[in-house]
Structure 1
């Protein structure tokens, strides 16, 4: 086991994980990985320039055995002559109040405690027992959820005040270490609960991949994470340089050089957009929101446009693109997007950057069976007066909904369909040049344009997300 201790020591030194003179707190759950970590840190600190300031146990109050876990960790601390720190958190309450999973709530509460410990100078960093197996599981979990290169970098050896010195060590190696040292540990039965996605990956997906594709799948995934991490670190330096050139931050937001962003390679433009949106809005953004911003930037602006993003609002005019912090509640506003109107050629398609969508019109000789409330509909082309326009809702709009037998205000239709005021402006509407509404996307057709048995040619109208294949 000397070899294992040496390997961890080399990782700490070569990666600069723990600075000289640092005080380290070890996160101790009582499970095998954390107990092995505690033992290894104590061994290493005896000859290192840093010290173990304490073992930290967090009681999540989720298991009947939580009290026994705490007692076990206290006893281990006494045996290893290390100060014992204990915190109690209400994971269930946070999960309920914020509408997040128990796993997410537990993670958030743990890291809040880690932060507080370092801010209060109890320690300079907190070390956790994440292993190479955990790294591989995280890569698969993020891949399944659609992560980009940054997510596929997996767990980082150091992230601020959190240090993970065991990422090159497997769970099996730690079990051998425990056995050789005679160190007991606790078993957490919730790790066997395959309702949790991570546990399904651990107990089902990885064994399947190991048996059917690669016996060394854990090492393969760890290597991929290392490659992705190096690429991500290089890309982030490029992003910082690009943001410095084309974004001017102020107290309440940022001015963006949209022409310069439009000239960037797509991968770099996406990362710049993500950084600006999250910096100004203070909230995470997803792939669709990033593409929505880029679509607006790439679309020539002939009039003022305002579009909401998480925690921010974009104001775009022909000569300025500005993203400002925006804390207004969507339900207090008429719409989360400004008014828009575009001409739709037949055949043809038009991008609607305000919605991050594309609307297309395609003539067809066949009459498909489509729902009037779908994202693709067939309408009679004989009664349409071209050209078509794509716009959003206006006060006073009226339609004859298919099958209703009479006229109805579009506002009343939205109320019936439980579409909030904030969302009404995000529903694309196709109208003809006479002003008649042909289609309220995803909701209904106008009776005037329904397809009948006598129609020999129809028009297929379709709404897609930007980037979605037609």
Structure 2
């Protein structure tokens, strides 16, 4: 196996021979064999072991084993202990997810502090097949079917071309020792169920299973590349970004063949799972929404709008700000308002308002607009409800959620950053002009 490993490195991963490597090791057979292979290949490497404290004395014994292996191999070893269950409970995530996040965060820190070039993990061909079947059973796109990448940024998996059988055979032939994780024998986890009950049956039915699977994944990767090129070509025509809002042009999307396929590819990174609801938004009424754990998708007339969930929460939260007469500036959710008494009107725009100060009743207030609010828009005749004004100005749902008004008593003096009120405009009779600027 070593000669096959060395040939694979020389042909496909030659940069490992010249880099400073951090080999992640649990004490299990896969990572132990990776460490031995790196030693035989005369790589410049150190070991990194995480004690997640999930199996009591067994976890501590794993740590002891790794420390002894490092001495035997005459390489440096880094050990980190975690209270994994406490972290999982605090973050409201699974223990497995907490362990993964803790592990890779620490590896990144080590790489920065100790200047390692690459992180090596011991994932092999059977792990790749298991991941494929897990993703297939849960529902996924091409990304989930193309498996574990051999190189992902600074993470390298040099054993992906090797089967579990090859690794076990090599370990036994060389009398290498390793640790057995008792939790791997339990079939209550989906991965273990596949490993012990499903994949052996598939291999019995087809002795070339792993080879054929590798061929299939290779073909899927070619297809993924074609799709990526197609999406890249239409991206500029369909997608635009304004004020941290991603906008997808519905008309241009519907002109494309296989519209839903393009929608999936454009939105797959935003963690949506209710894809039928996402596709239905194309023909839904304005204001309809679909949420993922991290993002919100809104139908707004001619566009699908993508924002973070945190933006949605902030935009719908209550706002109530009181402004005394002597206030010079005050922070609001999307900027800073400054107040200055002046004697003349300079160039005006939507973010600057000049009003008759003597008509105001202090303290002024800033709040969210409410149903029934109205004002007398500058440049227009008579009064208009804000809801009607929003409709005429083609406000999106997101725009309406963010809209704030500056009020004097019950009167709306300014729809902030949009339009002032005619009743408070500066006239020939005005003695004191108040300049309000949004920055």
Q: TM-score, normalised by structure 2?
A: 0.65
Summarize deviations over 1:72-97 as a string: whole Å, max 9, x none: 11111111111111112222123323
Change (3 A) 1:187 1:315: closer
Partner of 1:420: none
Cα distance in 1 between the residues matched to 2:190 and 2:37: 30
- For structure 2, the 5+ residue unaligned runs are 318-439
Cα distance in 2 between the residues matched to 1:68 and 1:118: 26
Partner of 1:145: 138
1:132 to 118, 125, 133: 125
Kindly state the Cα deviation for residue 305 of structure 1 after the two structures are TM-superposed.
Answer: 1.9
Aligned ranges for residues 301-320 of structure 1 at < 5 Å?
Answer: 304-310=286-292, 311-320=294-303
Cα distance in 1 between the residues matched to 2:129 and 2:154: 22
Kindly state the Cα deviation for residue 121 of structure 1 after the two structures are TM-superposed.
Answer: 4.9
Instruction: Report the count of equivalent residues.
Output: 315
Cα distance in 1 between the residues matched to 2:62 and 2:217: 32
Say which SS state the counterpart of residue 115 (structure 1) adopts. Answer: helix
Cα distance in 1 between the residues matched to 2:125 and 2:21: 21
Partner of 2:306: 323
Kindly state the Cα deviation for residue 190 of structure 1 after the two structures are TM-superposed.
Answer: 0.9
Summarize deviations over 1:83-131 as a string: whole Å, max 9, x none: 1111122221233233433222222222222232334453111111111
Partner of 2:80: 87
1:118, 1:161 within 8 Å by CA — same for their partners in 2? no
Cα distance in 1 between the residues matched to 2:237 and 2:315: 36
Summarize deviations over 1:333-361 as a string: whole Å, max 9, x none: 69xxxxxxxxxxxxxxxxxxxxxxxxxxx
Partner of 1:14: 11
Cα distance in 1 between the residues matched to 2:59 and 2:68: 14
Partner of 1:97: 90
1:24 to 21, 26, 51: 21
Partner of 1:38: 35
Change (3 A) 1:88 1:243: farther
Kindly state the Cα deviation for residue 13 of structure 1 after the two structures are TM-superposed.
Answer: 3.9
1:139, 1:221 within 8 Å by CA — same for their partners in 2? no
| Deviation >6 Å, runs of 4+ | 329-334
Partner of 1:446: none
Cα distance in 2 between the residues matched to 1:332 and 1:324: 11
Partner of 1:204: 197
Q: Once superposed, what is the RMSD of the aligned Cα atoms?
A: 2.8
Cα distance in 2 between the residues matched to 1:164 and 1:81: 23
1:224 to 197, 202, 216: 216
Partner of 1:382: none
Cα distance in 2 between the residues matched to 1:107 and 1:116: 14
- Structure with higher Rg: it is 2
Structure number with the higher helix fraction is 2
Say which SS state the counterpart of residue 306 (structure 2) adopts. Answer: strand
Partner of 2:59: 66
2:202, 2:209 within 8 Å by CA — same for their partners in 1? yes
Summarize deviations over 1:48-74 as a string: whole Å, max 9, x none: xxx433111111111121111111111
1:295 maps onto 2:289 in alignment: no
Say which SS state the counterpart of residue 141 (structure 1) adopts. Answer: helix
1:52 maps onto 2:48 in alignment: no
2:277, 2:290 within 8 Å by CA — same for their partners in 1? no
1:26, 1:52 within 8 Å by CA — same for their partners in 2? no
2:278, 2:290 within 8 Å by CA — same for their partners in 1? no
Say which SS state the counterpart of residue 310 (structure 2) adopts. Answer: coil
Cα distance in 1 between the residues matched to 2:95 and 2:14: 30
Change (3 A) 1:111 1:235: farther
Say which SS state the counterpart of residue 255 (structure 1) adopts. Answer: strand
Partner of 2:271: 284
Summarize deviations over 1:406-438 as a string: whole Å, max 9, x none: xxxxxxxxxxxxxxxxxxxxxxxxxxxxxxxxx
2:239, 2:246 within 8 Å by CA — same for their partners in 1? yes
2:38, 2:45 within 8 Å by CA — same for their partners in 1? no
1:241 maps onto 2:227 in alignment: no
Summarize deviations over 1:126-179 as a string: whole Å, max 9, x none: 111111111111111211112222111111111222111111111121122223
Cα distance in 1 between the residues matched to 2:300 and 2:193: 49
Cα distance in 2 between the residues matched to 1:102 and 1:14: 38
Say which SS state the counterpart of residue 327 (structure 1) adopts. Answer: helix
2:249 to 252, 257, 266: 257
Say which SS state the counterpart of residue 194 (structure 2) adopts. Answer: helix
- For structure 1, the 5+ residue unaligned runs are 335-470
1:76 to 66, 69, 74: 69
Say which SS state the counterpart of residue 79 (structure 1) adopts. Answer: helix
Summarize deviations over 1:11-40 as a string: whole Å, max 9, x none: 334334745632111011111111110011
Change (3 A) 1:206 1:79: same
Cα distance in 2 between the residues matched to 1:91 and 1:41: 29
